[in-house]
Structure 1
Amino acid sequence: MLTARSLFQEILDDDESYRLFCSIAAGGEAQGGWENGRIAALVPDSQRALAPKIARHGADEDKHGRIFRALMHRRGIEPVEVPPETDYTMILERRGIGLPHAVLRAEEPLTERDIVAYLAHSRVTEQRASEQMDMLTQHFGDHPEVGRAVRMICHDEANHLAYCHEELLRLAAAGHGRTIQALLRESALGEIDVYRDVSLAVMAHMGRILRWPRAKAAALTAGIHAVHAYERLGGWRRMVSLRMPERRDALGGPVTTAAEFA
């Protein structure tokens, strides 16, 4: 039976597919770390209190990248170049979701609206990341090779999502509510298209590596399109709601280390 667990187990068991999976994940996390680091450096004076939390977010993403690279090192495999059609973070940036890299490379302070846009984009993408890590933790949280990494990253992603909820609610109370809702909707509708396209590209590469039969590849493709259809019809709404999280000040402390994965 074709399930999320059996699919990931198949990817995990093969060195080439595992290398591609970890390389894609490591690249995306490293990119997220750079973006958050630049945003933290460019926060406007009106939001300076956010800078340490944004920096903590970036440090977590950098740590996740190191974890995925360490997982490859443990198995004795080297990272592979990430196919551009599977680069989720860069495709989001090219489609105008999040802050442009040209802005982040400059030395001009960001505006308060830029910070609102960053948090709205993060609230959407962290929803996706948190759901994916919850799924992996459910199926592989006790796995001897990847279980510890999966649990640590899952915990961090839940913190990131909680932080986005709390800070967006604070900014909504300060008068940014309409802007936040518009940006959340725009980001969510754009992200679900990117997620579909990247999922199809990743599955195509995995199918070639693992030599999936045509029927299996077709079933996975149909499943990806079905998820996208559900999200277009209304599933995207889960990405735009805001509620005060149980984890308050989730990024207020020091970053946990990844030394155990070195």
Structure 2
Amino acid sequence: MLSAKSLFQEILDNDASFQLFCSIAASGESQGGWENGRIAALVPPSARALAPKIARHGADEDKHGRIFHALLRKRGLRPVEIPPETDYTMLLERHGIGLAHEKLAAERPLSEQDVITYLAHSRVTEQRASEQMDLLCRYFGDHPDVGRAVRMIAHDEDNHLAYCHEELLRLAHAGHGPLIQRVLRECALAEIRVHRDVSLAVMTRMGRILGWPRARAAALTAGIHAQYAYERLAGWRRMVSLTMPERRDALGGPAPAAAEFA
């Protein structure tokens, strides 16, 4: 039966597909860690109180990258170069979403509008990450090999999403509401297109590795297009709403001391 659980199980059970999956995930997390680290270093004086939280966000992303590399090492595998069409983070940047790497690589302080753009971009992408990790947690949270990693990352992604909600609401109450809603909508509509394109690219690669028959590949492709159609029609709205989270100050303070995942 074709299901999300059976699909992930098939990818998990094959060394080559697992290697590609973890390599793609590690690359995205590492890029996110670098981006947050640079933003924390460049925040303007008006947003200086946010710097430790942004740095904590980046530290979490770096940790996630190390976790995916550790999962590869446990299987005796090395990371592989990821195909450009599967690079979610860089494709978002090419669509003008978030802060450009060129700006982050410079030494000029960011503006308050840049901070809003960063938080709006993060609110949208962390929604996706939280949902995906929730799905993996539901199916593989008790898995002997990947369960601990899945639970750890899922907890962090929920914290990141809560932090984005809380900080954007604070800025909305300070008078930035119209700008926040505009940027959120732009980010959400771009993200669902990029997510569709990356999903198609990843599934094509996985299909080649796992030898999927044409009928199965066609069914998965149709499912990805159907999800995009729903998100384009109405589903994107879940990415732009703002609600005060139950987890308040989710990224306050330094990252908790814990043994490194291995």
In structure 2, do the counterparts of structure 1 residues 108 and 188 end up closer, same or farther at CA, with 3 Å as the change threshold?
same
1:152-191 equivalent positions in 2, closer than 5 A: 152-191=152-191
- Contact 2:39-2:54 at 8 Å conserved across structures: yes
- Contact 2:52-2:253 at 8 Å conserved across structures: no
CA distance in 1 between partners of 2:257 and 2:79 (Å): 22
1:53-68 equivalent positions in 2, closer than 5 A: 53-68=53-68
- CA deviation after TM superposition for structure 1 residue 127, in Å: 0.1
- Contact 1:63-1:258 at 8 Å conserved across structures: no
CA distance in 2 between partners of 1:205 and 1:238 (Å): 29
Q: Please report the TM-score for the alignment, with normalisation by the length of structure 2.
A: 0.99
The amino acid across from 1:189 in the alignment is L
CA distance in 2 between partners of 1:56 and 1:9 (Å): 32
1:157-216 per-position Cα deviation (integer Å, ceiling 9, x unaligned) = 000000000000000011100000000000000000000000000000000000000000
Residue equivalent to 2:207: 207
Residue equivalent to 1:126: 126
Pairing 1:12–2:12 present: yes
After the TM superposition, which of the residue ranges 248-257 and 120-129 deviates more from structure 2? 248-257
In structure 2, do the counterparts of structure 1 residues 256 and 206 end up closer, same or farther at CA, with 3 Å as the change threshold?
farther
Give the match's secondary structure for 1:59: helix
The amino acid across from 1:115 in the alignment is V
In structure 2, do the counterparts of structure 1 residues 90 and 140 end up closer, same or farther at CA, with 3 Å as the change threshold?
same
Residue equivalent to 2:151: 151
- CA deviation after TM superposition for structure 1 residue 118, in Å: 0.3
CA distance in 2 between partners of 1:210 and 1:257 (Å): 39
- CA deviation after TM superposition for structure 1 residue 255, in Å: 1.6
Give the match's secondary structure for 2:200: helix
- Contact 1:71-1:261 at 8 Å conserved across structures: no
CA distance in 2 between partners of 1:257 and 1:3 (Å): 37
CA distance in 2 between partners of 1:73 and 1:107 (Å): 36
CA distance in 2 between partners of 1:69 and 1:231 (Å): 32
1:1-262 equivalent positions in 2, closer than 5 A: 1-256=1-256, 259-262=259-262
The amino acid across from 1:7 in the alignment is L
Structure 1: 5+ residue stretches without partners: none
How many matched pairs?
A: 262
CA distance in 2 between partners of 1:152 and 1:117 (Å): 27
The runs of 4+ residues in structure 1 deviating greater than 4 Å are none
CA distance in 1 between partners of 2:89 and 2:57 (Å): 15
CA distance in 2 between partners of 1:212 and 1:253 (Å): 47
CA distance in 2 between partners of 1:37 and 1:51 (Å): 9
Give the match's secondary structure for 1:261: coil
